[in-house]
Amino acid sequence: MFKGARIGLCSNMSCCSVDFTPTIYHFLNQKTLRLTHLFAPEHGLNAALQDQVRSSDDIYARAGVSIKSLYDKTYRPKLRMLKDLDMIVIDLQDIGTRYYTFVWTALVMIEQAAQYKKKVFVLDRPNPLNGTSTEGPVLEPDFKSFVGLHPIPVRHGMTIGELCTLMNDELRLGAELEIVPMSGWRRKYYFPDTELFWSAPSPNMPSFHTALVYPGMCLLEGTNISEGRGTTRPFTLFGAPWIESLDLVRALRKKDIPGTAFRPLSFQPTFHKYRGTMCGGAEILVTKRNQFKPTFTGLEIIRTIKHMYGKHFRWLDPPYEYETEKMPFDILIGNPWVREGITRHQTITKLQDRWHTPLQRFIRKRKKYLLYN
C-alpha cells in the first residue's frame, strides 16, 4: 500500500519510536515511499517555538521536502498542497487537554484530506493523563477557536486516534481514516505507567508533571497571573509581583484541595508576563494524582487570587490564539459563565455542578469510539 506512495506527514521532532528516532527520520530514511511534504503543528517542526509564535514555511534542505506550518490564521494546509499526495500520515503527541492545539491540527488535516479523498493514517499515542478521567465544561459552539474546535470537555480522557475518529463521524467529514493502534496501552495508565520516556512536544511541556497540572494551570493564560512561562517550571509555578507568597499558600492550604500541596516561592520570568520582575507566588505539587482534579484546582487558584488581590487581578482582553473578540479565558474554558461566576464569587463546586450534565452526555457519547480497555 505504501510502496511508491507520495506521503504528507504531519508531525514534529518530539514524536519518536522506542529507539528515540523521530518519526520524520523514519520516513526520510527509507526508499519504499516518497515523503514530499512535512506539515508542522504549533511550536514548529523542531517543537522549539514558544506559544503563539508563527513558524515559517521552508524546504528541508537535506531531503528537498516542503515544510508547511499549520499554525497561522487559517491553521490549515492549502488544498493544492494535498492534491498531488497519495496519502497523509499524522503523528502528534496530544496531552489530553482541549486547549492543546495538536488535536485541532489533526482535525483540520482530516477535513482537508476528505475534500480530496486522500486516505489518512493516524499513528496513535498515549493520553498521558489516562484514558478514563474526564473533567471540566464541554466547549459551547459559540466559543470555538484553535484551542477548541469541537464540543469536548477540558480533560477528555481519549487518545488522539479516538478523538479523530469521533470528530470524523460527528462532523460527517467522510474521510477515509485509519487509526494505527498502540500495543499494550491501558486506559488506566498515566504516562509513567507506560514506562516510556517523556519527549517534550513543546517548549513549555517539559515533563509529565507539567502535563498533569496543565488542564487547570493553562487557564491562568486568560488572566494577569503568570503561569510560569519564562521559568524552568512552566505551569507548575504561578504568581504575580503583587502577591505575597506565604499569604497565598496559607489561603490555598485552608481549602484542602484534593491531591495537592503548595510551596511558597518567588520567581523572575525571563520572558512573557512580568519579564525581569520578581513575582510572589507558589509551586503546585500533585501528591495523589488519582484524587487530583486539575481543572477544579486551576479555577480554585484563580478564584482565591481574585478574592485576595481584587485590586490587582484582571481578566485579559483579546486577542488570543487568533481570536480578536471573545475574552481569552472564555475561549479556554469554553463558555462565559465560569468567568462570570467567579466574578460573582460563586464557588467552584457550584460551577462544577453546572458542567456536570453536559460532561456526562459526552462520556456516554464517546464510548463507541474507545479503542482500548
- Residue 13 is given by DSSP the state T
Classify 295 in phi/psi space as left (phi over 0), alpha (psi -120 to 50) or beta. alpha
Which residues lie below 8 Å from residue 233, measured CB to CB, with a gap of 6+?
A: 210, 283
Q: Give the per-residue pLDDT at 75.
A: 59
Q: Give the per-residue pLDDT at 42.
A: 87
Cα–Cα distance for residue pair 87/65, rounded to 1 Å: 15
Which residues lie below 8 Å from residue 285, measured CB to CB, with a gap of 6+?
A: 236, 260, 261, 262, 263
pTM metric for this prediction:
0.94
User: Taking every pair of C-alpha atoms in the chain, what is the biggest distance, in angstroms?
Assistant: 64
Which residues lie below 8 Å from residue 214, measured CB to CB, with a gap of 6+?
A: 95, 97, 99, 100, 205, 235, 294
Instruction: List, for the chain, all residue ranges whose pLDDT scores fall below the cut of 70.
Output: 52-63, 72-80
Q: Are 198 and 191 in contact (CB under 8 A)?
A: yes
Q: How far is CA 40 from the centre of its chain?
A: 15
Residue type, 21: T
The 119-123 sheet, strands edge to edge: 58-60, 65-69, 34-40, 6-10, 87-90, 119-123, 177-180
Residue type, 213: V
Q: Give the per-residue pLDDT at 305.
A: 98
Q: Give the per-residue pLDDT at 130.
A: 98
- Residue-range domains of the chain with CATH: 6-192+365-369 (3.40.50.12170), 208-335 (3.90.1150.140)
Q: Give the per-residue pLDDT at 50.
A: 76
